[in-house]
Amino acid sequence: MAANAPQTPAGDDRNLVTVDENYLAPTFEDRLQMFWEKHSRTIVALVVLVTVVLVGRWAFDLFAERREQAIRAEYAAAGTSAQLQAFITSHPKAALAGVAALRLADEAYAAGNYADAGTQYAAAIPLLGTDPLAARAKVGAALSPLMAGDTAAAKTALESLANDTALVAAARAESAYHLAVLARDGGQIEEANKWAALVLSVDPESVWSQRAMQLRAALPVVSASPATAAGEASAEGASIAFPAAK
């Protein structure tokens, strides 16, 4: 036996072949190990990044939810006009700010403060944005001048609403009905018929359609002077029939 021959310990059957991309037949475990050795830092970095993003999103959603709960609680506690106004000032971008402004407008309208009501309804419109209550605020803003005696301004505003095809049907129908009443009271029978027909076509199942049919059926009869009819119009046609803000 040669003196310098390599000695292999008994029982040592380890695979002494280096496993890398040049190895001709790596197993699945070998491939996985090579992939990990090459990309482990990138994988760890991605996992950390995703974890940070998820935790951040969760924290933001939690904060937003608690803030929204606090805003709702503050709105619910606002029982006076001053408190509602303070709420709007404190949270001008909150969805409930528009509802608060609508409540102030309704209170002014019910109290007969029509100039103030018109101002409040106009202020509520942009705050409500795309909320369906915005349509009621628009109708209120149009009717307030009528109740204050400015028929021309009211007619212009109501015509704009009645002809707005993007507006909800209920608001268009109510606006057209009030225009029909104004036309009837002014002796403009054809104009009254036109607006009554619009009510029936826009929202045929509504209470405004029922009123429009009754109005149109009575159109041939002119039974009151313009001055008397104007007073009747205020009593008959100027209620805002959308659901109240809560």
Give the pLDDT confidence of 142-189 residue by residue, as tens digits. 999 999 999 999 999 999 999 999 999 999 999 999 999 999 999 999
Q: Which is more confident, 222 or 100?
A: 100
Average pLDDT value for residue range 53-81? 73
Asked whether residue 12 is assigned to any structural domain, the reply reads no
Helix, strand or coil for residue 60? helix
Q: Are residues 44 and 160 in the same domain?
A: no
Q: Are residues 114 and 151 in the same domain?
A: yes
Q: Are residues 72 and 84 in the same domain?
A: no
Asked whether residue 20 is assigned to any structural domain, the reply reads no
Domain residues for the domain of 60 are 40-77
Q: Are residues 73 and 101 in the same domain?
A: no
Express as a percent the part of the chain with pLDDT over 70: 74
Asked whether residue 3 is assigned to any structural domain, the reply reads no
Q: Are residues 66 and 86 in the same domain?
A: no
Q: Are residues 44 and 102 in the same domain?
A: no
Total structural domains within the chain: 2
Average pLDDT value for residue range 83-89? 90
Q: Are residues 57 and 176 in the same domain?
A: no
